[in-house]
Structure 1
Amino acid sequence: MDMQDMKEEVRSRLNIEDVVGEYVQLKRAGRNFKGLSPFTGERTPSFYVSPEKNIWHDFSSNKGGDVFSFVMEVEGVDFRTALELLARRVGVDLAQYDSAGAQEMAKRKNRLYDILELTTQYYQQSLLKNKHAIEYVFGKRKLSKEIVQSFRIGYAPDSGDALVNFLKMKQFTEKEAQNAGLLNRFGGDLFRGRMMVPLMDGSGRVIGFTARILADEPNAPKYLNTPETLLYNKGRHVFGLSQAKEAIRRVDYAVIVEGNLDVVSSHQVGVSQVVATAGTAMTESHLKALVRLSPNARLAFDGDEAGLAATERAIPIAQSVGVDLTIINLQGGAKDPDELIQKDPALWQKAIDQAEPVVDWIITQHSKREDLTTAVGKRKFTTAALRVIRALQDPVEQEHYLQKVSTYTDSSIDVLKEKLAGTEEPDEKVLKKVAQSVAPIKTDQTNYQENLLAVALIDPAVRELLKDIQPDMLATDEQKVVLEYVKSSTKQLVDVPEDLQNYDTYVKIVLLKADARYGEWSDEDRYFETARLVRQLITEHKKITKNSLTAQLRQAEQDGDDVRAAEIRHQVNELIKEIPRAQK
């Protein structure tokens, strides 16, 4: 069967609106759906999906196509990867259609496994050679030799191209290193001066890394993870699984924590049934990987708003997979398992042993957050509690918790049943993040300059990256005024400040763009996006300066002014050295 047949087989099992709907909030518009474009910061929906024709079109960036081209755009991947992602989603095994393709894919994967294995060994060796890293890993984090070996912990040198040079020596291409998620967007080492913790699959093969900075710096992200690759998918990856599987089988439950280093600390004190779904919400894939080992899972998430929301989202997933969830309360105000373990490992095991049923825990948490002596408090509490009870599939279990809510609020079971049967409050849909589009979206050359100002307006933490940006690098007067403002202010902007009232409409548009484009991004992603835009702006400015100098050079040569020509020629040569090769 050829590629076209494979494509049609996958397409026939998909609804285009379901796939697009994971990235774009779609609303019915006659026979079509429409929503805000995921590629531009537009205010008026001009992104259309036609289920009938199986196509989408985005009028704001003039992009369009079928379901495959949509996934290629939003995930920033090639056609083959988009086909694989969608095939996995609908359960089509591409290998059965394409043995040559399957062999090629297997070859590519094996090459990635090889490069990551070698990189892991390189980082392990680098750790032993670096006094500063040894002090951090064995001294500050108190990790034992055994645990450092078991988790294959290492250190990434901070020179910026140490790994790149090592891999070249080992005959790996830059493209392969890029595909393994080891390079930054400029072709240098992604990980620098960090403790490296390999991410492994269930059988112990390295598929990526999580990297912890040694000394916390104000604006550098504390943790940096491998981006999504052919091998690493954060929605499927369970950290520590290969080291924890025997213990999970033995004790018949898995403990799920939030941080990778909580897992490492726990294994060090002999509590080895611990894994993490690091840096991402729990998915069905995570729990399916664990339910094969045991149907019981104990969650140790934060008791804050985000932890509570994450726990609530996990309930229906656990129900559908057949996992029995309980919740671990961290004693003595410890913020995470690592802190509790440093205090006393026995307290950690005790907290695990006293895990309570998930719904009880959530109802108790909500009861602490509301004033149950007031009508408003009771309304909010019952709405939250019933949202959780509604997710339960067993009517006897529902009845049990309705009684509990009835006791808390002094309400009758009948009234609660009536409210339970009433309209369900729609949950805010969590949309997937769209990969950054590399090609400029608008023909407007100043679009990226505006993006830079937008992210700086809403995120004061990125403003220190603007120190080398001068007003003359920007295209318009409005941009220059906004730049001066963000460079001199530490305030986060939600509305137009007094200093910018004269440019009211322009600033509102940039703020709107900021919200639409960067509002939902993590601090880390915003920081790296700003660094990229700053670099682009400086490079563009150098190119413009170079063109201007070249024109002056011609003039000087025509005028026979040799001294001036030599001076300009020197300036041009210096600039050429500074402009990245790809940009010249």
Structure 2
Amino acid sequence: MNDAKEEVRARLNIEDVIGEYVQLKRAGRNLKGLSPFTDERTPSFMVSPEKQIWHDFSSGKGGDIFTFVMLVEGMDFRQALEHLARKAGVDLSLFSHGDGRTAKRRARAGEALKLAANFYQQNLVKNSAAREYAVKKRRLNRQTIGDFIIGYAPDQGDALTKALEKRGFSRRELADAGLVNRFGGDLFRGRMMVVLSDSSGEVVGFTGRIIRDDPRAPKYLNTPQTLLFDKSRHIFGLYQAKEAIRRSDAAVIVEGNLDVVSSHQAGVKNVVATAGTAMTLQHLKVLSRLAGRIRVAFDGDRAGVSATERAINLAQEIGVELEVVSLPDGVKDPDELIQKDPALWQAAVERAQPAVDWVIARHAEMEDLATAEGKRRFSTTALRIVRGLKDPVEQEHYLAVISKETGASLAVLRAKLGAERSTPPAQLKKPKIEKATPSKPRDELADIIVGLALSQPSTRRWVGALEAASLDEPARAVVTALQAEPLLDIEKLPRPLQKFEQYVKIVQLKSERRYMDWEPEALDSEMARLVKQLIRKHRDTKKQQLLEDLREAEELSDEARARILRQQLNALIKENV
């Protein structure tokens, strides 16, 4: 059932599941609320959407979505899996064999896609027309071609199919990968190919741009829905952009995949696209785990304004700042602007304005505000947007903007704003458990040290002084790994740490909460203090144990053992921390 569990986990957001029981509010990159397990008054229940983990500081409980549902609903694992599978729309009967059949199919599809990417790259090198299109017409350099694994699908009807069949792949496996058409031949032909990758860089599909325009064929063709590719959830360029998004605390969403490619080449690397589909709540939630601001580059026509209005509602729901990147008149997309001058695109991104300001301004331009009818239509539309804003101060600001545009008084606009009944707040589900008194926190010194070392690599030099053997199993495993590899990448845990993945995420969450207001330069001395404190604590524990053993040896008149214990005790006392 592990592959079923991973499929359910991939389709659900932990904040959505927990948000049905706990009113969550944003706290930096995390969310917090009152514990559903204890009668606490100060919120100490934390959720990390980025790590898909939760921890309740008042009860000491923590885990993933399955752990939460098991605890809050009093279910066993199988019941929790079935409950969440229904919510996620996952058919568990596909995973009922218990032999990992679906996982094997996914693995084979992944292998086929990786080989296909190599095949397309080789064909780009071989085909002069394809090279000319990519390098001269699209102006892509060698670095960009490598970063986005750009290639070429030959015109022949089954060149890729034959190549992969020689490598042992069946037509069923190629269909699972989304590489063949309904006749069993190659799906992509005569196209410049760009890899679609997941957030870890694994190939999940392709987007193909035809290099010789043919009115009978679509200009762009994407991999269909497959075991690995879900177009409604996929964010193009996320793997290449995520570090830049974190650094800038802003993600830019454009409409075309090749807009993303051009933007990265131009040096604006925090740019992604939504794989040819309308932006969804899922897209924004994924990006909100990396940044607090989302910028969209939509057209200024009515369709673009409507899309931005929908995006405002979605952004309000998850609590991110939404801004709009405006392109100069006469420019149809970022790629065209970049071809003119990359600096113009950089400037447009930096000039992004709040989405509500942008939408209200566009509606003001669309109406004749010198007439009563124009004022009525404009105010109705603008107030509909304002009504969806959750912050009353923000609402008041935009009421003043609308008042200035229409000449209507604030009192009149407030009356019109309140005329439509607001939606009542959603009712939270009640946990099927008795709440307990918040427990006294256990000694978590080792967890604090491990969490700080994982979150702040600059502090890891201090863990070398720790005796891993003196720690409990999860902390010992992490400390041993960090002592062996100080530059350990925690996003790709080595095999020995994979079984402690939940522990790793929870101690990171604890560390982020504890040190969220600290300056980075203060954390090194804090780690030194904590390590010394832990060493001293372990010495005191060892000293107490030696004293008890010595007392027992003296009572039994075991002079030989007592002599050894005295020597160990004296040596321990002489040690300096």
Structure 1 contact 247–273 (Cα < 8 Å) conserved: yes
Residue 118 in 1 paired to residue 115 in 2? Answer: yes
CA deviation after TM superposition for structure 1 residue 300, in Å: 0.8
- Structure 1 counterpart of 2:85: 87
Structure 2 contact 294–320 (Cα < 8 Å) conserved: yes
CA distance in structure 2 between the aligned counterparts of 1:218 and 1:124, rounded to whole angstroms: 26
- Structure 2 counterpart of 1:303: 300
- Structure 2 counterpart of 1:355: 352
Cα 1:358/1:85, change in 2 over 3 Å: farther
Instruction: Trace 1:94-109 onto structure 2 (pairs within 5 A).
Output: 101=98, 103-109=100-106
Count of residue pairs brought into register by the alignment: 347
CA distance in structure 1 between the aligned counterparts of 2:302 and 2:275, rounded to whole angstroms: 18
Structure 1 contact 199–207 (Cα < 8 Å) conserved: yes
Residue 279 in 1 paired to residue 279 in 2? Answer: no
CA distance in structure 2 between the aligned counterparts of 1:266 and 1:228, rounded to whole angstroms: 27
Q: Deviations over 1:331-387 (max 9, x none)?
A: 243111111111111111111111100000000011111111112211221122122
Q: Deviations over 1:26-81 (max 9, x none)?
A: xxxxxxxxxxxxxxxxxxxxxxxxxxxxxxxxxxxxxxxxxxxxxxxxxxxxxxxx
Instruction: Trace 1:444-523 onto structure 2 (pairs within 5 A).
Output: none
State which of 335, 339, 351 in structure 2 corresponds to 1:338. Answer: 335
- Structure 2 counterpart of 1:254: 251
CA distance in structure 1 between the aligned counterparts of 2:315 and 2:385, rounded to whole angstroms: 13
CA deviation after TM superposition for structure 1 residue 399, in Å: 1.2
State which of 176, 181, 199 in structure 2 corresponds to 1:179. Answer: 176
CA deviation after TM superposition for structure 1 residue 424, in Å: 7.3
**Higher RCO (CA 8 Å, separation ≥ 6 residues):** 2
The alignment partner of 1:250 has SS state of helix
The one-letter amino acid of 1:87's match is A
CA distance in structure 2 between the aligned counterparts of 1:112 and 1:98, rounded to whole angstroms: 17
CA distance in structure 1 between the aligned counterparts of 2:120 and 2:421, rounded to whole angstroms: 51
Cα 1:137/1:92, change in 2 over 3 Å: closer
CA distance in structure 2 between the aligned counterparts of 1:337 and 1:85, rounded to whole angstroms: 44
* Sequence identity percentage: 60
Q: Deviations over 1:475-514 (max 9, x none)?
A: xxxxxxxxxxxxxxxxxxxxxxxxxxxxxxxxxxxxxxxx
The alignment partner of 1:210 has SS state of strand
TM-score using structure 2 length: 0.57
- Structure 2 counterpart of 1:127: 124
State which of 383, 387, 390 in structure 2 corresponds to 1:393. Answer: 390
State which of 310, 313, 321 in structure 1 corresponds to 2:310. Answer: 313
Residue 370 in 1 paired to residue 367 in 2? Answer: yes
The alignment partner of 1:234 has SS state of coil
Cα 1:322/1:344, change in 2 over 3 Å: same
State which of 160, 176, 179 in structure 2 corresponds to 1:163. Answer: 160
CA distance in structure 1 between the aligned counterparts of 2:82 and 2:207, rounded to whole angstroms: 25
- Structure 2 counterpart of 1:294: 291
The alignment partner of 1:178 has SS state of helix
The one-letter amino acid of 2:319's match is G
CA deviation after TM superposition for structure 1 residue 126, in Å: 0.9
The alignment partner of 1:195 has SS state of strand
Structure 2 contact 95–101 (Cα < 8 Å) conserved: no
TM-score using structure 1 length: 0.56
- Structure 1 counterpart of 2:224: 227
CA deviation after TM superposition for structure 1 residue 421, in Å: 2.1
The alignment partner of 2:100 has SS state of helix
Aligned-pair RMSD on alpha carbons?
2.7
Structure 2 contact 252–295 (Cα < 8 Å) conserved: yes
The alignment partner of 1:331 has SS state of coil
CA deviation after TM superposition for structure 1 residue 403, in Å: 1.0
Residue 238 in 1 paired to residue 226 in 2? Answer: no
- Structure 2 counterpart of 1:465: none
Structure 2 contact 112–169 (Cα < 8 Å) conserved: yes
Cα 1:293/1:141, change in 2 over 3 Å: same
Cα 1:238/1:176, change in 2 over 3 Å: same
Structure 1 contact 94–102 (Cα < 8 Å) conserved: no
The one-letter amino acid of 2:349's match is I
Instruction: Trace 1:141-220 onto structure 2 (pairs within 5 A).
Output: 141-220=138-217
Structure 2 contact 324–354 (Cα < 8 Å) conserved: yes
CA deviation after TM superposition for structure 1 residue 116, in Å: 0.6
